[in-house]
Amino acid sequence: MSGIILVRDIMAKNVKTVRTDDSAHDAVVKMNKFDVGSVIVTNNNRAVGIITSKNILSRIVESRLDASTVRAKDIMSSPIITIEPDAPIEDAAKLMAQKRIKKIAVIDKDKIIGVISTSDIVKANPTQLGILQELLKIS
């Protein structure tokens, strides 16, 4: 099994979360504070969605909404796409291309333990660039 890179090997482990009833502004503050491009949205400690920078731009900024009055549940992408930590990164890359997304939550026994992004995959294994080039078509 040597040579195979697993999701757990390259995922970001320090996952930032907000609750469904937190404001979009709370999500932005957390993303800026921790310099991350997304936060996982939880309800009763279960992942129910993800808010990315793209969500903020397309659902708040473009619409000129007040981020302090919009709830996280109203702008999150859902259902959240997940992968197991022991999956090969090739599987994560294919899933991202199929679903046209750039981040996947890593779930182990119904608990979020990380997030993996296209950038993580390219940094860890540049040979995956071919699969990920499909994602450039949606950027």
Q: For the segment 110-121, what is each residue's pLDDT rounded down to a tens digit?
A: 889 999 998 888
121 domain residue, yes or no: yes
40 domain residue, yes or no: yes
Stretch 88-107: mean pLDDT, rounded?
Answer: 91
Residue 129 pLDDT level (bands cut at 50, 70, 90): low
Residue 122 sits at the vertex; the CA angle it makes with 18 and 50, to the nearest 5 degrees, is 15
18 domain residue, yes or no: yes
Digit-coded pLDDT (tens) for 30-85: 999 999 999 999 999 889 999 999 999 999 999 999 999 999 999 999 999 999 99
H helices of 1-139, in order, are 7-10, 24-33, 53-56, 72-75, 89-99, 118-124, 129-136
Q: Is the pLDDT of residue 1 over 90?
A: no
125 domain residue, yes or no: yes
pLDDT of the residue at 24: 97
2 domain residue, yes or no: no
Domain of 65, CATH number, reads 3.10.580.10
Hey, what are 130's tokens?
A: 């071919």
> How many domains does the structure of the chain reveal?
1
Digit-coded pLDDT (tens) for 9-43: 999 998 999 999 999 999 999 999 999 999 999 99
Q: In 3D, which of 127, 137, 114 has the Cα closest to residue 50?
A: 114
Contacts (Cβ under 8 Å, ≥6 apart) of 139: none
> Pairing between strand 103-108 and 82-83?
parallel
pLDDT of the residue at 21: 97
Arithmetic mean of pLDDT over the chain:
89
1 domain residue, yes or no: no
Q: Report percent pLDDT > 70 for the chain.
A: 88
**What range defines the domain where residue 53 resides?**
7-136
26 domain residue, yes or no: yes
41 domain residue, yes or no: yes
